[in-house]
Amino acid sequence: MTSQIRRASSSIGANLAEGCGRWGDAELARYVQIASGSASELQNHLRLAKDLALLSPSEHADLLRDLVSVRQMLTAFLQKLRGVRGATKAATG
């Protein structure tokens, strides 16, 4: 379980880094979506760890609060990317 939690959490940052190395907002947005999927996977692993008593309820609550914050940032970033792309299309179209 620890290994899965570590992989899912590191995947969030790794996908953002990979997306930043791609060309264009559309590709970056795709990797932000993948990072968001990794955040969902991590949320599931944390819930399971709590259910299996590998995390205390207070540890789970703290980690979940942090994860919700990360997910909000990912969502805001994705919305900004889509807004920028939409504005670019409107300006050129």
In the chain, what are the domain boundaries?
2-92
d(CA 45, CA 27): 27
Each residue's pLDDT tens digit, 31-70: 999 999 999 999 999 999 999 999 999 999 999 999 999 9
pTM over 0.85: no
Q: What's the fold here for domain 2-92? A: de novo design (two linked rop proteins) (1.20.1440)
What are the Cα distances from residue 58, in Å, to 43, 46, 49, 54? 15, 12, 12, 12
User: Mean per-residue pLDDT for 15-22?
Assistant: 93
4 contact partners, CB below 8 Å, separation of at least 6: 45
